[in-house]
Amino acid sequence: MAARARRIDEGNGGMDLGLAGAKALVTGASRGIGRAIAETLADEGADVAVCARGQEGVDEALAALSAKGVKAVGSAVNVADGDAYKAWIESSAEALGGIDILVANASAGPGGGEKAWTKNLAVDVMTLVRGMEIAQPMLTESTRASVVAIGTTAAFETFQGATSYNAMKAALIVHASNLAHVLAPVGIRVNSVSPGPIFFEGGPWDLVKQHMPEMYETALAQQAGGAMGTPEDVARAVAFLASPAASHISGVNLVVDGTFTQRVNF
């Protein structure tokens, strides 16, 4: 089994986290973890703006989100293009009527060579940096402002060698923690969520399973529960941290890995 069955009823309508009417922006939200985050926030009653590189994926996501009875807007954006990304934030805030939540989910993923370092910096780290440059004034006006950055367990426990993805995700987590301390006086909470291996059809671990079965089986064997996580596992953690239910939680890196990592957190 690649991913465990969901323990929460698909038809429960949400967790009642106090997110009704919130205005949320989610990057990289056409599939996988980002899509699950957008849908979970919508299930909680939040209006959602999404972006991804492909318009077809964005359109599909918007149809699914709108069907939940919330306002959903979005467009195809390459977040590595700083000007285009900032323009998307501004237009999304205008369409939704403000910003309460910013989720920096977009990632360039693992790669090799100097180009990978540049790309991971531009996408994984600068999405949060540039996003806050534009969104911070609007978040300051919110009474429930929250920012969540999506990291990875590979940022703090050695995994698959010395890669730009691991290092840049570590930088993202550190920056999120620093922002939490700087922005607490103006009422903006900042947290990060670090998933372990997450399996979904067509996703990275599905591809690993198909093309590098030994690597897949090794990672699966590290899951004490016998299965990888799902995008919804991560999305529910994000929704909680983004919500008023977590109003006294800031500067935290919440690990969602089903005991994949071996370290002990104090």
The SS3 call for residue 212 is coil
Catalytic residue from among 85, 156, 159, 165: 165
Q: What is the C-alpha separation between 12 and 43, in angstroms, rounded?
A: 9
- Do 127 and 220 form a contact (C-beta atoms < 8 A)? no
The SS3 call for residue 87 is helix
Q: What is the C-alpha separation between 188 and 148, in angstroms, rounded?
A: 11
Q: What is the C-alpha separation between 164 and 122, in angstroms, rounded?
A: 11
85 is catalytic: no
- Do 123 and 80 form a contact (C-beta atoms < 8 A)? yes
Which residues are marked as active site? 165
